[in-house]
């Protein structure tokens, strides 16, 4: 398993105008590789859960969003988290680089459509509030 390709993924995440490019790269090189999926340790991250909730609120245009069964794995040496869960019964997947505070979120929208959103985080002192800056998101088929 060549984890040096995480650097390529990070660069694609930071520079892509088409979010499908880093998403496809993640799944081509990591997301469907059993050896990769065994790496890292189970993690909890309240900030990522809050970001997922906020994105879900924007997608569904309602406040009462439920995030269930969020399972995150962290590879500490690379400051990288990835995982999956459900929002309102829809599958969501994501990856996040802690060193650049940036990640990519995907939600199954039905059929073959997937909605992608790149997000950046900024930790604030109280650690409780999440603000989403205006951003670009893409739907792909």
Which tens digit of pLDDT belongs to each residue from 63-83? Answer: 999 899 999 999 999 999 999
Share of the chain above pLDDT 70, in %: 86
Region of residue 69 (left: phi > 0; alpha: psi -120 to 50; beta: else): left
pLDDT at 129: 58
Separation CA 102–CA 92 (nearest Å): 17
* Residue 31 DSSP class: I
When pLDDT is averaged across residues 39-55 and rounded to a whole number, the result is 90
pLDDT at 113: 87
Residue entry with tokens 């794995």: 73
Residues pairing with 52 in the sheet: none
- Work out the mean pLDDT of the chain and round it to a whole number: 86
In this structure, are residues 71 and 42 in contact, taking their beta carbons and an 8 Å threshold? yes
With a CB cutoff of 8 Å and minimum separation 6, the contacts of 89 are: none
Residue entry with tokens 């997937």: 114
3-state secondary structure of 104: strand
pLDDT at 32: 79
pLDDT at 110 exceeding the cut of 60: yes
């Amino acid at each position: 398993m060549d984890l040096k390709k995480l650097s390529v993924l990070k660069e694609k995440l930071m520079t892509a105008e088409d979010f499908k490019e880093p998403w496809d790269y993640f799944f081509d090189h990591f997301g469907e590789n059993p050896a990769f999926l065994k790496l890292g340790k189970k993690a909890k991250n309240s900030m990522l859960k809050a970001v997922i909730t906020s994105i879900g609120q924007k997608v569904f245009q309602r406040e009462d969003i439920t995030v269930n069964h969020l399972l995150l794995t962290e590879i500490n040496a690379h400051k990288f988290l990835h995982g999956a869960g459900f929002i309102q019964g829809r599958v969501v997947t994501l990856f996040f680089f802690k060193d650049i505070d940036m990640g990519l979120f995907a939600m199954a929208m039905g059929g073959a459509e997937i909605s992608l959103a790149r997000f950046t985080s900024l930790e604030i002192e109280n650690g409780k509030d999440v603000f989403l800056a205006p951003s670009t998101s893409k739907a792909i088929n």
